[in-house]
Structure 1
Amino acid sequence: MRVFDNVKYFPNILYHGTTSDCVASLKEGIVIKRSRVRTDFGEGFYLTANRQQAAEWALFKKGFNSSESVSAVVVEYKLAKEALRGLNILYFDGTSDEWADFIFANRELNSKMSNNIDAKCDVVYGPMGDGFKIARAMAKRRKNPEDTKGFREDITSSTYKFPEYHQFSFHSKEALDSLSWKGAEIIWEKGKK
């Protein structure tokens, strides 16, 4: 983990997977308070430079919405990298014990560990925790709080390998101001292939 200040290596385009019922509000402007709280890097707006990853997330979210009128959508944003200069950016360059503890603290809302509960980081970048294993891993870690290594192994995805699969999370208005809407594409809707 390190504080990151060389934003020139960040991608120019980022993607967000969502459903069609959220697109109008996203186009109007991102509101962090509409985000889930217990997430890997804290309450924030999550994106990726991997369009396929965003599409998979959109399809996953669509699976929770039984409305036939709701479609899976990938939203594209342009990142004004220079607008991030001077912001507090936390960068995980791989799965590590620090990364695992950070995820545990944010999902557990544990302010005694290194965390982003209060959004002290404007942007966080790093590997995704394995969403399919995380609930079981969290329960196991609660029973054995000192087992960082076991938790890291449990949440490191064997399917979604870093750095191809990753996440950017934006946690402040200043960070969100670096994103501009480029468009949205429906990737699945009922009756279409």
Structure 2
Amino acid sequence: MLSNDRYRTVYHGTTLFAAKLIQQNGIWIEAQRLRTDFGQGFYVTFSREQAKSWSYFRAKNKQLSPHILNLLNLTESDYLNHPDTKIPAYLAFSVDLHALRRLQGRIFPLPHEVKWQLNKDAWKDFVKTSRKGIKHGYDFVYGPVWSGHFNSTGEIKASPFKEQLSFHNNRALHCLSSPMIIKLPPKKWMNSSEFKNHDQEAFISEIGKNLMIISTMKEKQAYSFIKKYLITHSFSDLHFHETALYWAFSIFYQSKRIWIDEYERCLDSFIQL
């Protein structure tokens, strides 16, 4: 559950480009993605390792809201070719949890906690609604991360230990202070052509199906395209936080263009939550 301590350190995994932008200009809620686990907001974690992993993920998937580019008067090419977009980094903040708890929030237990079974269905419904782009009225939300894919029964499932805290307006953001940027070294990506388990194989299969839908590829070409991508890109459980459709866009376009808005517009058509 959410800590009862007064002050805690929380982390936001991103790129050096975005970290500098946040430190210099503050956090723009309106520029965050709409269709996320708890809705449009600024997401942090109490886990430094989780944030570091997400930093490497973001450096490999250089997507940014076109709204931010407009605010910065940058072209898509300016952003994609900026050297700081390739550098993984995370922000460390101090969060005043006592002040945060005085706001209107929604707190879900984590899957390893005793109250999870009583709250699991409510969490699923909340994530389904948020992923459809339907807004809620909470200042903040805390709970487990959606694993991003469906299990064998067709239900969404929560990551066992990954948690997230989301801030949805300026009242909540005022509980964050002292942002500090920590740059990370480049990471060597290992060949992941051999998948570890059935869940990963099933997820790759879903990516292939979505890749065929958003492109003109046939089945053999789509899976060859994915295999080529995995030669130089690691694929771990972290990646399951995003949908198969997200990875179809990522693998198809990679860093050649910004496609995140197009992806979100396609969600209703391609996935059934």
Structure-2-length-normalised TM-score: 0.53
Q: Check if 1:32 corresponds to 2:29.
A: yes
Matches within 5 A, 1:1-193: 8-9=4-5, 12-27=8-23, 28-65=25-62, 67=81, 69=83, 70-95=86-111, 96-109=120-133, 111=134, 117-118=135-136, 120-131=137-148, 133=149, 137=150, 150-152=154-156, 155-157=157-159, 161-162=160-161, 165-189=162-186
1:91-113 Cα offsets, whole Å, 9 max, x none, are 1003411111111111013x5xx
Cα distance in 2 for partners of 1:167, 1:32 equals 16
Amino acid at match of 1:176: L
Larger radius of gyration: 2
- Counterpart residue identity of residue 101, structure 1: D
After superposition, the Cα gap between the structure-2 partners of 1:82 and 1:10, relative to the gap in structure 1 and judged at 3 Å, is closer
Q: Alpha-carbon deviation of 1:156? A: 2.6
Q: 1:104 to 1:10 in 2, by over 3 A?
A: farther
- Judge conservation of contact 1:84–1:178 (CA < 8 Å) in 2: yes
| Aligned length in residues | 160
Change (3 A) 1:98 1:150: farther
Quote the Cα distance in structure 2 between the aligned partners of 1:31 and 1:89: 20
Which stretches in structure 1 are left out of the alignment for 5+ residues? 112-116, 141-148
Deviation at 1:187, TM superposition (A): 1.0
Determine the C-alpha separation between the residues in 2 that align with 1:19 and 1:10: 29
* TM-align CA RMSD: 2.7
More helix, by proportion: 2
- The aligned residue for residue 144 of structure 1 is none
> How far apart are 1:74 and its partner, in Å?
1.0
Equivalent residues of 1:7, 1:82 under 8 A apart:
no
